[in-house]
Amino acid sequence: MLRVIIVEDEPYAAGKLEMLLGKAGHSVEVAGIAATVTEAVKLIETHKDIDLGFFDIELADGLSFSVFDRCDVYFPVIFTTAYESYAIRAFKHYSIDYLLKPVRLPDLTAAIDKYKNMSQKFNAGSSRYLNVFNAGKSYKERFTVKVGDHIKMFVTTGIACFYSYEKGSFLLTAAGGNYLVDYSLDEIEEKVNPAKFFRVSRKHIINIDFIDDIIAYSGSRLKIKLNVATENDIIVSRQRVKEFRSWIGLGKG
């Protein structure tokens, strides 16, 4: 018997997924359904024998990624969402698959088969098994840069943002210092904690702890003001506004 939980804030979608699980060709028991991040945390802390989780990404009280920061998610997850833009962040966590809504039975069956094949290779209680699904939980905590003959180290908690300028990538510190780093923004996005850092555009990755103001901007975009001076405006691109709003806790607004 495969014990699963469903984290989904739309009752119809949750019911449909539960129905599809019954048709997926495996013996599945739904141990519980949660509609919010808070409910998901309580559900996970209550049940200690879950084999697999199905997580919608956008919930009423934020992104389900924050569940991983609030409790020990000891089982692998299959994410479900209507937005392809979340794929990179999803696989930073315990994700073994990523299903686009509306979820189709063949895709769901294939995802469960994938889980079954992986779980047969690793004993669920072994550290090796846990490491397979926990690989994305470790994030870069400091960046080392060379300044002339000196080498400086900056912890991520003191970095206000990363940005691109001409052909280089830079970090901006809490003290207002700008330093060239040996990574592209794409590489940095993969290395930093998505609970703290968000790629608002092709040119900027910002730290949520340094946001001073958010201002409505033209074309349904948003302008970000950090509490550290920046040379250029930081604009949330139109394609990322919805995800950004969820990231800062504005739900699906």
Q: Residue ranges per domain, the chain? A: 2-137, 142-247
pLDDT 10s digits, 36-49: 999 999 999 999 88
Q: Is the pTM of this model over 0.75?
A: no
Beta strands 52-56 and 62-63 are unpaired
The per-residue pLDDT for 124 is 43
pLDDT 10s digits, 96-148: 888 888 999 999 999 998 888 777 654 444 433 344 444 444 688 899 999 88
Mean residue pLDDT of the chain comes to 85
Of the chain, the percentage scoring pLDDT greater than 90 comes to 51
CATH number for the region 142-247 comes to: 2.40.50.1020
215 near 222, Cβ under 8 Å?
yes
The per-residue pLDDT for 10 is 94
CA 182 to chain centre: 24
From CA 165, how far away is CA 224, in angstroms rounded? 18
Tokens of 68: 């991983």
The per-residue pLDDT for 253 is 45
pLDDT at 86 over 50: yes
Of the chain, the percentage scoring pLDDT greater than 70 comes to 86
CA angle 45, 32, 73 (to 5 degrees): 35
The per-residue pLDDT for 179 is 96
The per-residue pLDDT for 82 is 79
Which CATH architecture does the domain made up of 2-137 adopt?
Answer: 3-Layer(aba) Sandwich (3.40)
The per-residue pLDDT for 122 is 46
